Amino acid sequence: MKLKFEIIPYTLHFTFTAGTSRGSFTEKETWTVKAYDPAQPNLVAWGEVSPLKGLSEDYTEDFEAVLTDMLQELASLEIPESADEILMWVTEQIPADFPSIRFGLETVLLDYVNGCQFKIFDNQFWQGKKRTPINGLIWMGEESFMQEQIEAKLKAGFNTIKMKIGAIDFDTEFKLLESIRQSYSAHEITLRVDANGAFDESNVRERLTDLASLEIHSIEQPIKPGQWGLMAELCAEGLLPIALDEELIGVHSLQDKVKLLDTIKPQYIILKPSLVGGIRSCQEWIDLAEERGIGWWMTSMLESNIGLNAIAQFTAEYENLLPQGLGTGQLYHNNFESPLEIRKGELLYNQPKGWEVSF
């Protein structure tokens, strides 16, 4: 089959200032991709290409022009029609250092061959028969704002809370976590933290020891990526289970993935399809991790509901899931209306509810 692609830039606006150790966000630029056959113009599939400025290796100031050129070239090619062949074809056509474009193209093509109904995988999640456990995310900010978020997540029924740390005073962050633990045991509420590389060799062990006293489940990326020796030491010492996140950026070949996992030996890895190369790349990471007894979970990267839907459906292809990082659909006041809903700490696809994507 041959398809035409239309790229539509869109700016998502946060309902609050979202703080991380890398800075704060009030908006997120993204690009929706519309695919169709000119002979059947009413049959339209949607995908999303959503790199993150300052983090994604493929983000550039002229990103839209690069994306446009790539998809225009692909419009002249014959595209396969089975899911496995599509994933392989995208890997062959899009260079590895454009991970968000790979994911967006995978998504829009899978949607098209599945009937243009936002169905990326025909599984129980899309059918509305299966829910996915997710964590409640606490963003950085003033102490009162973080406390409000914590109370709201607990009231909403989340039993796994993830808090971003490393931007404000650590003692304040520790006290917030301690306040949760004083009210809820580790059997009642699971606590995760995400440092986004905020610590260094001079303080990381002290921080991990302090956090371990609160029975924290895991810490994402305690130090900046690229320090494989120190990260391997921290994972081996076992002060606190460590999940690699930014460490996976730019690691594309199967050989390099094996080398990273076998060198660092992390307890967990975090997979963001838009960041690590899309669905097929994540499948490789999961296979390698499970062979080594390394846990994993999926996280969105501030995509709109279009990208989030694709990640959620892909995640639901796997069983016995840990709580996933897929609760970002409520971040924006101008997100696309979708069947995605959160109920008592679980993400579900409310099948009778429709999509509203219009420009």
To the question of pTM greater than 0.85 for the whole model, the response is yes
pLDDT band at 298 (very low <50, low <70, confident <90, very high): very high
Would you please indicate which residues are annotated as catalytic (active-site) residues? 164, 272
32: pLDDT strictly greater than 60: yes
More confident residue, 180 or 130: 130
Provide mean pLDDT across the span 85-99: 98
Burial 290-300 (b: 16+ CB within 10 A, else e): eeeebebbbbb
Pairing, β 136-138 against β 295-298: unpaired
* 4-113 classified as CATH 3.30.390.10: yes
Name the fold adopted by 132-349: TIM Barrel (3.20.20)
- Closest to 1 in 3D by CA, of 81, 74, 71, 94: 81
Q: Per mean pLDDT, which range of 21-35, 89-103, 305-319 is the poorest?
A: 21-35
Average of per-residue pLDDT values in the chain: 94
Which pLDDT value is given to residue 107? 98
Q: Where are the domains of the chain?
A: 4-113, 132-349
Residue type for 69, please? D
